[in-house]
Amino acid sequence: MATFIKPKTEILDEIDPKTILEKIEKAGRTCYKSEDKITEHSCLRFVDNVIRRGHESVIEHEKITAKVICDRGVTHEIVRHRIASYSQESTRYCNYKGGVTFIIPHWIDMKEGEYHHKDRYDLFGEASENTTNPAWFWFSACIDSEVFYQQCLQHGWTPQMARSVLPNSLKTEIVMTMNLREWRHFFKLRTAKTSHPQMREIAIDLFSKMKNLIPVVFDDITWE
């Protein structure tokens, strides 16, 4: 039996926007020795100004950590952003003998849950391999790889050996930490319409959450 789920994101930090903006302002004003201009509410305008003027190195003083649950194909793209720290679920050491979990692409219409081989017929309304529905083949590839993975384990292979039969749709979890400037760069690239659809799905979800937390840092970025 295999489990199929949809991607998810989570902000791991307890964000206090005012504290973050005040720290950025204090760091930035060091450059001009203008600390005397700091007021209770001056940080908002200061951060807005440095971003508008392109002085984004100042916002590198703050970071946000997020957790993403997605397929391994997406994480191959995420880790291309090198100004970041990553901790990812390891297929070398994690043993999925209890069942493999896969990520449902948003273009495939199916509910989250546990499924068997026979469920492919009920899910996609086809009675045989003569179907022309690509979703039928995708589901079959995932569910078959789970069987082969378990058989490899049963015949003495270690998880790091058996993982070679698993597809990009395998669920993985990755914790990623970026400074605010790199998050801006990440969102500009990964929310674009030319981005991979599954990467864009993750990026838009994270972007919406971070923009709600610290609007001034992300207000000028649009993805529609």
* pLDDT at position 130: 62
Which whole number is the average pLDDT over 127-132? 65
- Tell me, yes or no, whether 212 lies in a domain: yes
Percent of the chain with pLDDT over 90: 88
pLDDT of residue 127 exceeding 60: no
> Token match 């864009």: residue?
200
Mean pLDDT of the chain: 94
Which whole number is the average pLDDT over 91-96? 97
Which whole number is the average pLDDT over 74-80? 97
Residue 72 C-beta-side C-alpha neighbours within 13 Å: 14
CATH code for position 73: 3.30.1360.170
* pLDDT at position 37: 93
- Tell me, yes or no, whether 104 lies in a domain: yes
Which whole number is the average pLDDT over 142-167? 97
pLDDT of residue 118 exceeding 60: yes
d(C-alpha 171, C-alpha 164), whole Å: 14
Q: Domain residues for 147?
A: 1-15+63-224
Both tokens of 174, joined, read: 């990755």
- Tell me, yes or no, whether 49 lies in a domain: no
* pLDDT at position 224: 74
- Tell me, yes or no, whether 155 lies in a domain: yes
Give the confidence band of 176 by pLDDT, cuts at 50, 70, 90. Answer: very high
- Tell me, yes or no, whether 46 lies in a domain: no
Which whole number is the average pLDDT over 173-194? 97
pLDDT of residue 81 exceeding 60: yes
Which whole number is the average pLDDT over 141-166? 97
Which whole number is the average pLDDT over 171-187? 98
Tell me the whole-structure pTM to 2 decimals: 0.93
- Tell me, yes or no, whether 25 lies in a domain: no
- Tell me, yes or no, whether 24 lies in a domain: no
Q: How many domains does the chain have?
A: 1
pLDDT of residue 103 exceeding 90: yes
Check residues 133 and 96 and name the one with the higher pLDDT: 96
pLDDT of residue 125 exceeding 80: no
Q: pLDDT tens digits for 23-65?
A: 999 999 999 899 999 999 999 999 999 999 999 999 999 999 9
- Tell me, yes or no, whether 85 lies in a domain: yes
pLDDT of residue 187 exceeding 80: yes
